[in-house]
Structure 1
Amino acid sequence: MANNLDHIFTALSDPTRRAVIARLGQGEASVKTLAAPHDMALPSFLKHLDMLERAGLVTSRKDGRVRVCTLHPEAFMPAEGWLDQQRGLWSGRLDRLAKLAEGLARDKGNVP
């Protein structure tokens, strides 16, 4: 799972790839449509798509002469699970810190 997480987070680490993911969240799109808002050569853009595909977040297919990309939201589940674990861990830590701070404030007489 760690290797898949590495691929997912690496794929999401770039703003161009995140923009592609956001656009594909609206529905499938051609490579030309996806590349249009980005100021880069098509070969450079295709490297971004390749990374998203290797992470399993996006697939593409040929539809005649057009390459169409589709988002796979279920591929985000390992990252979502990891983030949920981290959120739970840090929420617990912050709750304990707040209780400690409240206790210290009460001991100093700053809180009734």
Structure 2
Amino acid sequence: MEQSGIKEILNALELHSQQIDKKLNQHFEKTDKRFEGLENKFDGLDKKVDGLENKFKGLDEKVEGLDKKMDKRFDRLEKKFDGLEVGLRETQETVDFLSSKYVQHEKKLRNI
């Protein structure tokens, strides 16, 4: 009887072990599927990130081109303003000269 009792316990343990194995396998399968789903999502995100990086590279090139154009335009404007400044200075000198001559002529007219 002891033998049969031990056999029954062993059989019960074997059945329980099989049930635990089944449940563990089910959990592992679910976990594997979830990881596969996450891997697919990450792959999709990687592709999106790569696409964004490419867009940013294109934008960087455009910004660099615009920056160069703006630098050229600012250089041209700076030259124009320098020319205007020289012209204004010369005009001011001419006005000063003419003003002094006017004052001299006024003095001569008063003396006459």
- Scaled to the shorter chain, the TM-score interval is 0.3 to 0.5
Q: Which has the higher contact order (CA 8 A, sep 6+)?
A: 1
Name the structure with the higher helix share.
2
Normalised by the size of structure 2, how large is the TM-score?
0.35
Name the structure with the higher strand share.
1
Higher Rg of the two aligned structures: 2
